[in-house]
Amino acid sequence: MRITNLQRRQLSDVFNNKNLNLLDFEVSGNYQEFKIKFRFDYFSFIVFKKNAEQYQVTVMSVDNTNAGTTVMKWDGVLHRFKLWVTQIKEELDTPSGWETFQSSNYLNSDLEDLNQFFSEDEKKSARQSLTEIKEKLKRN
């Protein structure tokens, strides 16, 4: 019993149809097993041929670090692999919003200004604002 080259090709076609970069993944396995893992995180998909008709599939998906394992026929393996690849593609293509955070200047100041000590007027203004906030908090 082995995972055939035709079956491996089917998995490869699913992967390539989503335009994922194979260099970002580690692919391994022997005649009875196929493994693919994203190099930079825990996402992985493992197929193990149990007998002539059944395959054990272990998946670590984008939203769950606990591996889920099920036994299914080849059509189920292909379907589950398509779902997994789609999740990976969406995760990698979706910006988190934090990418631009560090490069944005939210204080609208020059770098030199950010490294300066507060002037006496700025200290006085900050104390005044904090006092006002404390008073509002005490009333509520």
pTM more than 0.75: no
Give the 3-state secondary structure of residue 140. coil
In a domain, 117, yes or no: no
Residue 119 lies in a domain: no
Q: Is residue 99 part of a domain?
A: no
Domain hosting 33: range is 5-93
Percent over 90 (pLDDT), the chain: 62
Torsion of CA 122, 126, 128, 131, to 10 degrees: -170
Q: Which residues pair with 28 in a beta bridge?
A: 35
Total number of domains in the chain: 1
Helix spans in 2-119 (H): 5-17, 74-93, 111-114
Q: What is the pLDDT of residue 12?
A: 94
